[in-house]
Amino acid sequence: MGIGVGVLLVFLCNAFAQEELFPSLLGDLELTPQETIENITPPEEPLVQPIEPPLPALEDTPALIAPVVSPPPPAPKPASKSAASYQNYENYLDSIVALARAIQPGKDKFEAEKAAIIARTPGPKSEFEKQADYDRKIANFDKDKQKEIQNLEKKFQTEEKARLNRLRAAINYKDIQPEWAGILKRDTTIEGYESRMARLAGRSHDMKRKTEQVSEIVAGMGLSKSDLETLDRKNRIYLARLDRARELMQDYILQERAQVLGTERKKVNMSLGTYDIEKQEHELNMNDITSPTVPFDYVGKVKIPPQQAQEIDRKTDDFTVSIDYINFPFILDGKKLFPGAKKANVYYKDREFPNTGTFRKLSIFETAPGYAEWAMHADSLISGKLVPRKLDSLYAMKRELPKTAKAGKQKAPKEAAGGTWWDRNKNIVRGTFFVLAAAGTGVGIWQNSEAVSKKKDLEILFDAAEAAVIAGERQNYSAKGKEYTEAYNNLRNTETLRNGLYIGAGVFGSVGVVTLFF
């Protein structure tokens, strides 16, 4: 009986708890356990802020495991164009290669997994298995395989899209200048600019090869035509900047060489010849052949008023001269000389007298190696045929493509068959220019030797005229003076022809060099 009473008491306690205690807590709600979990309203201010789920990781990157109750992750967003930064253009290309090469392993894995699924077989029919059951098993097996392959393809396409988005974001990154490191400044010597040109040429050669390799790598990665064209354009802009930087260095050199410098006023070997009372000018010969910096030999005429000429009486003791010359040295026996004289400034005491004349080539240079090329370049600078473009660093840095035909442009029938007229004949034209340059140089050298010979004859006539003056032989002086004037005019004509040949040779040679780039 005691046991029965105990059981009755336990039953009554349970009933009381179910009917009285729980209704006081839950009210009239009647929820299943699952409904209770889903319908409980969470607090407005959670104690711990929810963590934003990461973008879906690629196959080769460990993914973070989100809590089961977290909402599904959002669709992957394309990477921002400014999401990465690059130290230089080389680093930019290396990043593109790394992203492109990360695509192929994903493709290989997909193909291997797909091939493994296709290779699966359901196994042979058992002797205890009905044919109808086996046929249903085969049909279900094939359906499951197709579904698994579709799921695998969907997963691969999602991952592939993420990889391509990363690669596209890298390709479309903002404009990147070459690593100039201060080399675009005009702050060094001609030798310094030449050294920079050599470095730029080496960089251009290496980067041209690298850009071609990168283009080959990304070509088969499933990028759009627009993406490939963007990369090609960026590569060509980069290489064009290096080429323009070399042009800038060349222009800096030209600006340095075209500078006109001047010597101090000093006494030189000078003689005054016949005085033309009508033109009020003296014949003038002067030179400083042994100068350690600016050697010269000059013949011309200097304007002097009659009264001043009478006072001077052909004495040159109070005459001084300064020479304007271009900053284009010629190295002779290891010494830097500046024979590119441009203008003579003649002073009597503190007064400057205007003059006209010609600087003659010096015999000490005529047989020196490299002098003919130097003379052509110097004559072009002195005559103004060759003028600096006055470029600055902005010229090299601008975002501009070289003016060339667009890639992929279909050639015209004539071009496709045998090329343009220039393609077929450029070697002939180029050779003609070089032959003309060589011919001009050769004839110019011959004319120069003629000028040297005539100069010696001119000096003999001058000495004879001077001796006639000293001896008081007026008629003899008049005859010798006339011969001197004729010889002087012949000398001037010879020198003019020689200079014209040198300039012509320089022009033809320059045009020939330019044709090498076309």
Query: Which tens digit of pLDDT belongs to each residue from 187-225?
Result: 999 999 999 999 999 999 999 999 999 999 998 888 889
Asked whether the whole model's pTM tops 0.85, one would answer: no
Please tell me whether residue 336 adopts helix, strand or coil conformation: strand
Pick the closest to residue 76 from 185, 140, 164 (CA basis).
Answer: 164
More confident of the two residues 402 and 235: 235
Supply the pLDDT for residue 89.
Answer: 93
Mean pLDDT on 299-317 = 95
Supply the pLDDT for residue 426.
Answer: 59
CA distance 130 to 106: 43
Pick the closest to residue 61 from 95, 102, 1, 93 (CA basis).
Answer: 102
Supply the pLDDT for residue 227.
Answer: 92
Supply the pLDDT for residue 250.
Answer: 94
- Asked if 88 and 178 touch (Cβ cutoff 8 Å), the reply is yes
3-state helix, strand, coil in the chain (%, to 5): 55, 10, 35
Highest mean pLDDT among 178-182, 317-321, 462-466: 317-321
Supply the pLDDT for residue 123.
Answer: 80
Tokens of 148: 């698994």
How many percent of the chain have pLDDT more than 90?
Answer: 42
Supply the pLDDT for residue 294.
Answer: 97
70 DSSP 8-state letter = S
As separate numbers, helices (DSSP H) first and strands (DSSP E) second, the chain gives: 15, 10
Whether residue 24 has pLDDT greater than 80: no
**What value does the mean pLDDT of the chain take?**
76
Supply the pLDDT for residue 147.
Answer: 84
Supply the pLDDT for residue 209.
Answer: 95
Mean pLDDT on 220-244 = 92
Helices 89-101 and 190-218: angle between axes, nearest 10 degrees: 10
Query: Which tens digit of pLDDT belongs to each residue from 87-123?
Result: 899 999 999 999 988 887 777 777 787 887 788 888 8
CA distance 45 to 49: 9
